[in-house]
Amino acid sequence: MRLRSRLISGIPLLLGLGLLLTIFTGAACNEENGGANSADQRRASVQTRTDTFARAEARYPIPRTENFPLRDALVQFTERQDLLNHPVYVYIVADTGQIMGYYVAKTYPVNLCAFLSSTENVRDDDTGNLILTAPSLDGIYYGGAGASSSCDGWFFFDQASDALVEVIGFKVFIVDQPLNIEAQPLTVRG
């Protein structure tokens, strides 16, 4: 009798546990269904954006360009970089904005982080690609494409003396005709 009374008093506990199990199982099922609802919501959101873009494009269509002045400017820039014996004025600018002087260079300045060959040595194997730094043409390893420095240096050759000039840590202003301002030429004693 005592056993029977214990079993009967344990029934509410078992019913409570069963109820909790049912609630958690239902919640898990709802989460799974919620995932499907999330996918539906995502598709609906993308469709709404697509429809909105279609309305915007219908109202303001992509213009048919005719003149391409920006491409023309890029072509002219490239052609000027390709000229031989065409002086380039490299103004050195202090952090205060004051022009310290200018050089007359043979070419447009080249960034010190520019190289004649690839700076990466890509090794392929069964596990994927391994990208290593390739040695530079002077036989020294540098940071290459992943260099941590800011590459804030430029080099060029002086028009009059053919001296190699490196400008590091200064801002430069480059034009292919002299500016109409008071600035001292920086010359190299050759």
Look at residue 116 in the predicted model and tell me its pLDDT.
74
Dihedral of the CA atoms 142, 147, 148, 150 (nearest 10)? 110
Strands 120-125 and 88-93: unpaired
Look at residue 107 in the predicted model and tell me its pLDDT.
93
DSSP 3-state percent helix, strand, coil across the chain (nearest 5): 40, 25, 35
- Phi/psi for 43 (5° steps) reads -60, -40
Look at residue 114 in the predicted model and tell me its pLDDT.
79
Look at residue 91 in the predicted model and tell me its pLDDT.
97
Look at residue 73 in the predicted model and tell me its pLDDT.
96
pLDDT block averages, 10 residues each, the chain of length 190: 54 61 57 67 94 96 94 95 94 94 95 78 77 71 56 91 94 94 90
Burial degree of 88 (CB within 10 A; 0-12, 13-18, 19+)? buried
Look at residue 132 in the predicted model and tell me its pLDDT.
75
**Count of residues making up the chain:** 190
Look at residue 25 in the predicted model and tell me its pLDDT.
60
Instruction: Say if residues 90 and 174 touch (Cβ distance below 8 Å).
Output: yes
Look at residue 96 in the predicted model and tell me its pLDDT.
93
